[in-house]
Each structure stands twice: as structure tokens, then as C-alpha cells.
């Protein structure tokens, strides 16, 4: 069930909110658990049991780690929990990838399993693992209530697409949380903004990308436009969904971590990854990079750590060589920056750093979106006139004019310009009153326009479902 669907907006969400606020507080986690299981079952009937079993596994392993705290048995329980989590994720997500590569390398004919990837498994697996690791490290307290633990794992606002919420982020709120009018109003506003970003910007730019990849009348300008459109598309798609998740969480009294911070204004690749998919990059930092020694090791080991982390980051996104190459591409860039480029980037004008970063990020998204590495290099070559394409065609001009408005909205919306403007207006009392008056009106307009788009049956996929 997509957040950006009529079923979710006008049936599921309203029913859950009404039920949540009319039951006594002690039953609210039960309401959320049952609602979340139904939400997941709606779109993933065959694999709901996998999520339930994974949740129970994390719960039991947590009890064992706590029981044997400080002993070798606790470490065995921790390793067991990681093996179960990564093993399950590996079976569903990576088995066919490895079989295909073995067949190609050894000229064998091993049959593929062709297992469908359970929605959200990459996210809830990492959440369970973060719980058992933090428990073992003494950073979290054991959760003895199975309902509360399963509520954490299955919580529908962040279940299928993150952000990756660690147990320590919501540990206290699972037991006691307040639901005030201010929090609810903030949640509605954040959800409405995310919904508009997803449906009115990301979906429309997704249509443009589809056209650009299938056109028979391509041009250099069209490929550049596609690269820019895809960069905006993936940002508004994923950040919009994160906004909706954070907003929904706040409606129910939870504070989920921020996942994006205007990544396209970054002055370096290092800065970009402090702003993009923050919950994922910090997860790999805290649970992979630092345990490997981080940068407090000999230089060769530090370089090894960077390549391991970013190879895994790419592989997390998908079982394909394009994703691994995408991750390693960033590993090389980050290594270069940390070795000698970062201090130079900090001294030059900010706009130069931003152009440098955007250029490399655009190239990375072409690799990310390609089916094969060869296809990615073909597109990148064509961007610089290496494929004999014309600079521009009449079809290119037609589509650029047709989508010009959404391109402009996307470019402005990917910067903090509008947010800064609103904050500036709010500095004065009259401005604050005007914004407070307009805010609910804008929310209603967003929801009505989105509803019209959804009823019309417009293009409405969600990119991160494939990961």
C-alpha cells in the first residue's frame, strides 16, 4: 500500500488515526502493530510471515544477549542474530545474483530461485540488527515486551522505505509518548509536503525520465536533461517518502531521524553523503566502518575500510554490478577527497565545490539507473558527444518546454531557498501570522491536487521498492 494512494489516504490512515486516539494509551501499540501488519499484508501477502519471524528472532536474540551479558554466550547470540538477519536478506535479495555470476564464470547451468524480494526487507533487517548490536554494546535496554518490539520493527510509517530507525531512537517513545496538537499539526504539514514532493514533482519527473530512455530521437541535450531529471526524481521520490514517514511518525508521537538535508547544495562528495540518506550512511558508519577500525588504522587498512563500506552500500541498494560499481565510484571519490582534495575544496569559492559535486553526482545517478555498466558508459559517452548524436532535436525542445515548469520547481525545491524565505518572513510578527494562516490552506490544496492526480491514474511508482 503506497502512502501516495487513495486507499491509504482516505481509508487506511483515517481508520487507524481514529482507532489510535479512541483506545486507552496502553492499547495504542497493539493498534499500531495490527495496523502495520495489515498495511504490510495488503501489499506483501506471501512474505508477511517472514517479517514476523524476523521480528521474533530479533526479540529472542535480544533476550539471550541480555541474559548472558558480559559472557561469550552473549557474543554467540549477537553473531547468531546477525547471521539470521543477513542470511535471510541474502537468500531473497542476492541468491540469484550469485548463481548468475557462477553460471557465467564456470559455464554451469544452475537454476535461479527467482524469489520475489520482500518489500522493505533491507530496512527492517538493518533495524533489527541495530537493536541487537546496541544491546550487546550496552547502548540500549532489552525489550521484554514482544508487542512493543514488533511494533518497533513493523511500524508502518517507516516500514517499507525508511528512514532506518534505530531502536535507541524510539526506545523511550515505545513505552511512553505524548501526542499533542502541535506534534500532530507538524506531522500533517510534513506529510502534506512529502506527498506533494512525491506525486507532483517526483512522479512527473519520472515520466520525463521514462520518455528520455525510450525515445528514438535522442540528443546530447536530452541525455543531460534526463540526468538532471533523474537526479531530481530520485531525490523528491525518496525524500518525499521520508517526509511522509517522519510526518506520520509525529502524528503518532514518534520522532524519527531526518534522512535528507538538501544534498544537492553539498560542496563536496563527503558533504553530499552527510546530507543524502543520512540514516543509511550513519548505519554503515556505526556498524561497519568504525568496527573495522575507521580511520584510526594504518592507511592501507583505512582505504580497505572505505572500499568495504561503500561496496556494501552499493550492494545494499541492489543485487547488480551497476550498484556495486556505483558504491565503489563513491569510495574512490571519498578516498581522493580525504587524502588531499577536501582541504582544497574548503578554500575555493563555494559555487565551484557545488558544481564539482553536482557533476559527479549526476554521473553516479546515470550508473545507478542503468541496467548494465555498458549501458551507463554509453549514456555518459553520449553526454559528451561521443555517440554521434545531434546536439538537440525538435523532440528534445518539445519535451523540455512541456516539462519546464516542473524542472524549475524541482531545482528550486532541492535547495533551502523556500525554507529560508519562510523563516525570514516568520521573523516578524505579522509575517508569522500570515504563514500560520496560509499553512493549513496550502496543506489542503496540496492534498486536493494530489488526490486529483491519483484519481486520474497518473504515473505513481515508488523507486525504492526495488531496493
User: Any idea which residues carry the catalytic annotation?
Assistant: 317
User: 10 Å Cβ neighbour count for 178?
Assistant: 8
Q: Kind and range of the H or E element at 194?
A: helix 181-196
Q: What's the Cα-to-Cα distance from 249 to each of 185, 187, 275, 440, rounded to whole Å?
A: 12, 7, 21, 19
Q: 368, 173, 162: which is closest to 279 by C-alpha?
A: 162
Query: Do the Cβ atoms of 369 and 283 come closer than 8 Å?
Result: no
Buried/exposed 188-223: b ≥16 CB within 10 Å, e otherwise:
bbbbbbbbbbbbbbbbbbbbbbebbbeeeebbbbbb
CA distance 81 to 201: 40
Sign of the torsion angle spanned by Cα atoms 440, 441, 444, 445 = negative
CA distance 139 to 119: 29
- Count of all residues that appear for the chain in the document: 467
CA distance 127 to 124: 5
Measured CA angle at 254 (ends 250, 260), to 5 deg: 70
Amino acid at each position: 500500500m503506497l502512502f501516495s494512494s487513495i486507499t491509504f489516504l482516505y481509508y487506511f490512515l483515517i481508520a487507524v488515526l481514529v482507532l489510535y486516539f479512541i483506545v486507552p494509551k496502553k492499547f495504542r501499540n497493539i493498534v499500531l502493530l495490527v495496523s502495520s501488519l495489515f498495511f504490510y499484508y495488503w501489499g506483501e501477502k506471501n512474505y508477511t510471515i517472514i517479517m514476523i519471524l524476523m521480528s521474533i528472532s530479533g526479540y529472542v536474540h535480544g533476550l539471550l544477549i541480555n541474559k548472558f551479558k558480559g559472557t561469550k554466550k552473549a557474543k554467540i547470540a549477537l553473531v547468531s542474530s546477525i547471521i539470521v538477519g543477513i542470511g535471510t536478506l541474502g537468500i531473497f535479495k542476492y541468491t540469484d545474483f550469485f548463481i548468475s555470476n557462477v553460471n557465467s564464470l564456470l559455464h554451469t547451468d544452475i537454476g535461479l530461485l527467482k524469489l520475489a524480494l520482500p518489500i522493505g526487507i533491507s530496512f527492517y533487517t538493518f533495524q533489527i540488527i541495530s537493536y541487537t548490536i546496541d544491546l550487546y554494546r550496552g547502548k540500549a535496554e532489552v525489550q521484554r515486551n514482544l508487542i512493543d518490539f514488533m511494533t518497533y520493527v513493523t511500524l508502518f510509517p517507516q516500514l517499507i522505505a525508511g528512514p532506518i530507525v534505530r531502536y535507541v531512537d524510539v526506545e523511550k517513545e515505545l513505552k511512553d509518548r505524548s501526542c499533542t496538537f502541535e506534534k500532530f499539526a507538524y506531522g500533517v504539514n510534513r506529510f502534506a509536503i512529502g506527498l506533494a514532493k512525491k506525486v507532483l514533482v517526483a512522479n512527473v519527473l519520472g515520466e520525463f525520465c521514462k520518455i528520455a530512455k525510450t525515445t528514438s530521437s535522442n540528443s546530447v541535450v536530452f541525455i543531460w536533461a534526463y540526468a538532471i531529471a533523474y537526479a531530481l526524481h530520485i531525490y523528491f521520490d525518496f525524500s518525499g517518502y521520508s517526509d511522509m514517514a517522519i510526518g506520520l511518525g509525529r502524528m503518532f508521537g514518534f520522532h524519527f531521524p531526518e534522512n535528507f538535508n538538501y544534498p544537492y547544495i553539498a560542496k563536496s562528495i563527503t558533504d553530499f553523503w552527510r546530507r543524502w540518506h543520512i540514516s543509511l550512511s550513519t548505519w554503515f558508519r556505526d556498524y561497519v566502518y568504525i568496527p573495522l577500525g575507521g580511520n584510526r588504522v594504518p592507511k592501507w587498512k583505512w582505504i580497505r575500510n572505505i572500499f568495504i563500506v561503500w561496496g556494501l552500500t552499493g550492494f545494499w541498494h541492489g543485487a547488480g554490478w551497476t550498484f556495486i560499481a556505483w558504491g565503489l565510484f563513491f569510495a574512490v571519490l571519498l578516498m581522493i577527497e580525504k587524502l588531499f582534495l577536501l582541504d582544497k575544496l574548503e578554500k575555493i569559492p563555494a559555487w565551484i565545490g557545488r558544481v564539482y559535486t553536482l557533476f559527479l553526482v549526476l554521473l553516479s545517478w546515470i550508473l545507478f539507473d542503468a541496467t548494465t555498466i555498458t549501458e551507463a558508459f554509453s549514456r555518459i559517452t553520449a553526454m559528451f558527444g561521443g555517440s554521434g548524436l545531434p546536439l538537440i532535436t525538435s523532440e528534445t525542445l518539445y519535451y523540455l518546454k512541456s516539462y519546464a515548469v516542473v524542472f524549475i520547481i524541482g531545482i528550486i525545491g532541492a535547495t533551502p531557498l523556500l525554507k529560508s524565505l519562510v523563516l525570514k518572513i516568520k521573523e516578524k510578527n505579522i509575517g508569522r501570522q500570515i504563514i500560520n494562516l496560509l499553512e493549513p490552506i496550502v496543506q489542503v490544496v496540496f492534498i486536493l491536487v494530489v488526490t486529483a492526480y491519483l484519481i486520474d491514474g497518473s504515473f505513481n511508482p515508488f523507486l525504492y521498492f526495488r531496493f
